[in-house]
Amino acid sequence: MIEVLSNAALATIQDQGRQGYLRYGVGTSGAMDRVALAVGNLLLGNPDDAAGIEIPLFPFRVRFTEDVAFALTGADCSARLGERPVLPWWTLQAKKDDVLTIGVPASGARCYLLLKGGVDVPIVLGSRSTQLRGEFGGFLGRQLQKGDVIQAATVESAYSEKEGDAAGFGVTPPSWTLGGLETSPVADPADTVVRVLAAAEYEAYEQDSIEAFWRESWKVTPQSDRYGYRLGGPVLNSKRPVEMRSHGIVPGVIQVPPSGQPIIQLRDAQPSGGYPKIGTVIEADLWRLAQARIGSKLRFVQTNYEEAVDALDELDRYMTKLRHLVGLHRGDRP
Amino acid sequence: MSPILEHVLDATTTGTMTSERPQRHVQRKAHSMTPIDPDQKPRISLLGTSAMLFEAPGELDLRTQRRIWALGQRAATWEGIREAVPGMSNLMLTFDRPPRQPASLAAALNDAWAEAEELSLEGKTVVLPVQYGGDFGPHLSDVVAHTGLPVDEIVALHSEPLYTVYALGSHPGYCYLGGMDPRIAAPRRKVPVLGLPGGAVSIGGVQTGVSASAGPSGWNTIGHTDMSFFDPARTNPAMLAPGDMIRFQVGRIVR
Amino acid sequence: MTQGNELQISELKQITGWLETAGIGFIEIGGKGTVVRLTLEGQTLGGKSAVNPQAAPSVQETQVIAVSPGVLLTCHPMRSTPFVEPGAAVRQGDVLGLLRIAQLCLPVVAPCDGVVVKWLVEPGATVGYGTALMTLAPVRHL
């Protein structure tokens, strides 16, 4: 359905993740920006578990080998289908031999290319997500390369392009509804703000380290990717050296190795670890993190469990509303 | 606000747990329980809204680990729990949906722990030939430096025990092993090392393990073994399971 | 056919007439490999006087009509530069703006090749189905 024209692009096939195999050492993988993936599937009327392509490096070009509807969500990548601009958070019909060029985003770090029917790769251990460490799942367990041909599941469809459909349609980006989060008045508006729940070793840190953790902005260093974001900023000191027993962790956990520079474990992180944890970025804000570029700054805002669960509910309500709106619009078509 | 959940036992926390929640008054079987030390309570904390972590007090030993296995088997059946993931004398419960009353879940975990009997998972024994040192054991010298022991003694102490697989984690098929001699303990590295090959045998703190695929590690890599630990095509994809046993056989020592 | 790439003299007359009426002093029209720049003497740039149908009865104009209700957006929510500016050449099917209904964004599409004259509705205004949103000066063989 599409042929990859770009090389060394770090693009991978992802769905919402591989659940239930942590006890075998298999992390969940899945989209870094789950909201972008979910909205892309909504725009196409795909099942929620449909897989798409996560694109973290630009430019990225693909050629459509057949007519198919696609959606592009996430960062605004100045995309073009042939000569025609493709808007962000949009769905459009591509024709055979159309070339989609995804350019360098002005802001944001990742975009998602979804195909009608979902990317068709085998389900391994319950998911189509790419398990890079284990070299399975997704497209042959690896990142996409030039020449790869990716199929979409064929969909029974009586859909015929109507007049006026040729330009497609879209939705506002999540930040438009869910907004940025409040932080101190001195913060740079370009900083990505995320909410953090204290973790078990929070109280093991020196008071001035704890204050610095919340007050300072943290740089996303170049050693940041799907495994985790390594942050640059003040050194965080524990009151005593902490050597822990290996225990399960989840995406969002902020570990502090002896260097004192925190690492936010993300979708391809090890499912367990032994470094002390100062906090966990809440699940509801991981999509924001996914769009923070290398070189940009993060800020942490302290939250409590109830607020964090409310934030997940807010995300659910947003998705339900979008599903309803898009469903109404798509209502006269499959 | 403390990140550690206190064990609250009162009428208001009966909340959302199912009838699986155990009775308060329990007949404790002395032979299978570690002595109750009032200062040594389990530590329970949250990992955001995604999971709860239960850390057992006391020694990192087979008796504690067997009770963790029992706790995990039981908690895995509780409503709202996606998976029970044993670690080294600890257990992580991941949520399908975050519980509105985490204190209730914490209470249930504490109660279940108090009742947990050692689960005997006696599995197979696997012998792994290991090449210690050389290119495949780049951090053996760091363990020498930390412990003050010569290479031969470190290798002898590492290969002597029959290790039990306590848990899997870290990456597909990776086994955390229990039973390492504390004399060869060496702290995790300040900065994790990238690109270590599959089959790497390493020491992290008081633990040892074998990696199942290439990747980064914060542990001290002392040797290498050839073994297939994971096959995603199988229903039970990991070759080794908690309760299986490993003996390291010294193949070679490269100095 | 070479005719396909050239502006007809009659079309040029129409455009200059419209430019005068609209008070726009400069326009650049690009087609395949061709760019035509017109500058009118004595006009200021970016003038915004209303189109006076009496002054140029021969100027063809078409209106872009809303195909749904919604809030008119002249920029995409993630961007600050408008889709089009007055004077811009557009092709049939180009997105001129968006109609936003809650989070849904529907495109306002050019019904033909042409030149943007002006928006008839303020950005951010709520419009109904059938509201005239924009005047476009159709141009053949752009």
The answer as to whether B220 is a domain residue is yes
| The domain boundary residue, chosen from B115, B145, B174 | B115
| Interchain touch C–B (≥3 Cβ pairs closer than 8 Å) | no
Q: Which residue has the higher pLDDT, B216 or B39?
A: B216
In whole angstroms, give the CA distance from residue A197 to residue B209: 31
Say if residue A180's pLDDT is above 90: no
Kindly give, in sequence order, each residue whose CB lies less than 8 Å from that of residue A272, ignoring residues fewer than 6 positions away.
A22, A25, A246, A247, A248, A249, B85, B87, B92, B167, B169, B170, B176
Question: Is the domain of B19 the same as that of B75?
Answer: yes
Tokens of A117: 């029917």
CATH code where residue B50 lies: 3.30.1360.40
Q: In which domain, by residue range, is B181 found?
A: 125-254
Across chain A, how many H-helices and E-strands are there?
A: 5, 21
Q: How confident is the model at residue C115 (pLDDT cuts 50, 70, 90)?
A: very high
User: Which chain A residue is nearest to residue C79, measuring alpha carbons?
Assistant: A76
DSSP calls for A28-62: ----SSHHHHHHHHHHHT--TT--EEEE-SS-EEE
Which of these, A294, A277, A215, lies nearest to A242 by C-alpha position? A277
Strands A228-232 and B43-47: what pairing? unpaired
Q: Is residue C20 part of a domain?
A: no
Which of the listed residues B115, B136, B151 is the one where a domain comes to its end? B115
Reported as type and span, the H/E element at residue A207 is: helix A207-215
Residue range A88-96: mean pLDDT, rounded: 97
pLDDT at residue C14 is higher than 50: yes
B170 and B242 part of one domain? yes
The residue in chain A having the minimum alpha-carbon distance to the alpha carbon of residue C93 is A167
What mean pLDDT comes out for the span B191-207? 86
C50 and A CB contact within 8 Å: no
Lowest-pLDDT range of B31-40, B143-152, B191-200? B31-40
Nearest alpha-carbon partner for A215 in A234, A228, A229, A232: A234
Domain for residue C46, yes or no? no
Average pLDDT over residues A117-127: 97
Q: Is residue B230 part of a domain?
A: yes
**Quick one: average pLDDT of A232-238?**
97
Q: Domain for residue C27, yes or no?
A: no
Beta bridge partners of B230: B238
Residue in C closest to A83 by C-alpha: C94
Q: Is the pLDDT of residue B53 over 80?
A: yes
Mean pLDDT confidence for A282-303? 97
Domain end call among B115, B145, B178: B115
Residue C45 clears pLDDT 70, i.e. is over it: no
How many domains does chain C divide into?
Answer: 1
My answer on whether B218 and B176 are in the same domain is: yes
Position A292 scores a pLDDT of 97
What is the reported pTM? 0.84
- Which CATH number belongs to the domain containing residue B192 in this structure? 2.40.100.10
Q: Which pLDDT score, from 0 to 100, does residue B21 have?
A: 38
Mean pLDDT estimate for chain C: 76
Let me know if residue B40 belongs to a domain.
yes
B106 and B185 co-located in one domain: no
**At residue A202, what are phi and psi to the nearest 5 degrees?**
-55, -45
Domains contained in chain A, CATH given: 2-163 (no CATH), 180-303 (2.40.100.10)
A303 contact residues in B (CB cutoff 8 A): none
Nearest to A193 by CA among A298, A284, A84: A298
Q: What ipTM is given for this predicted complex?
A: 0.94
Q: What is the pLDDT of residue A115?
A: 98
Residue C70 domain flag: yes
- Regarding whether B166 and B110 lie in a shared domain, the answer is no
Q: Which chains touch A (3 or more CB pairs under 8 A)?
A: B, C
Residue B91: the pLDDT is 98
- For the cut 90, the answer to whether the pLDDT of residue C43 exceeds it is no
Nearest-angstrom CA–CA distance, A137 and B141:
38
Quote the mean pLDDT of chain A: 93
Identify whether C103 is part of a domain.
yes
Number of domains chain B is built from: 2
We report the CATH number of the domain holding residue C89 as 2.40.50.100
Lowest mean pLDDT among B9-13, B139-143, C73-77: B9-13
Best of A124, A245, A282 to substitute, by most chain B Cβ atoms within 10 angstroms, is A245
DSSP B111-156: HHHHHPPPP-----EEEEEEEEEGGG-TTHHHHHHHH---HHHHHH
Residue A87's pLDDT is: 97
Residue B139 pLDDT exceeds 90: yes
* Neighbouring subunits of B (3+ Cβ pairs under 8 A): A
Give the per-residue pLDDT at B63.
94
Domain that holds residue C110: 62-138
User: Cis link prior to C107 (omega < 30° from 0)?
Assistant: no
Give yes or no: residues B155 and B79 share one domain. Answer: no
Tell me whether residues A245 and B85 touch, CB distance under 8 A. Answer: no
Q: How far does the CA of residue A88 sit from the closest CA of chain C (Å)?
A: 8
Of A322-331, B232-241, C5-14, minimum mean pLDDT range: C5-14
Looking at residue A185, what is its pLDDT?
A: 72
Mean local confidence (pLDDT), B46-53: 97
C81 lies in a domain?
yes
Confidence of residue B250 (pLDDT cuts 50, 70, 90): very high
Q: What pLDDT is stored for residue B34 in this prediction?
A: 32
Chains B and A touch, using 3 or more CB pairs below 8 Å: yes
Q: Do both B241 and B145 map to the same domain?
A: yes
Quick check: C4 pLDDT over 70?
Answer: no
Tell me whether residue C49 is in a domain: no
Please check whether residues B177 and B142 belong to one and the same domain: yes
Residues B29 and B100 in one domain: yes
What local confidence, expressed as pLDDT, does residue C35 receive?
Answer: 61
Residue pointed to by tokens 């934030």? A311
Is the same domain home to B227 and B148?
yes
Q: Are residues B167 and B241 in the same domain?
A: yes
pLDDT cut 70: percent of chain B above it: 86
Residue C56: predicted pLDDT: 41
Q: Mind telling me how many Å the CA of A157 is from chain B's nearest CA?
A: 33
In whole angstroms, what is the distance from residue A162 CA to residue A333 CA? 10
Are B71 and B186 members of one domain?
no
Between CA B46 and CA B52, with CA B50 as vertex, the angle to 5 degrees is 35
**Using the beta-carbon criterion (under 8 Å), do B192 and A246 form an inter-chain contact?**
no
pLDDT, position B193: 83
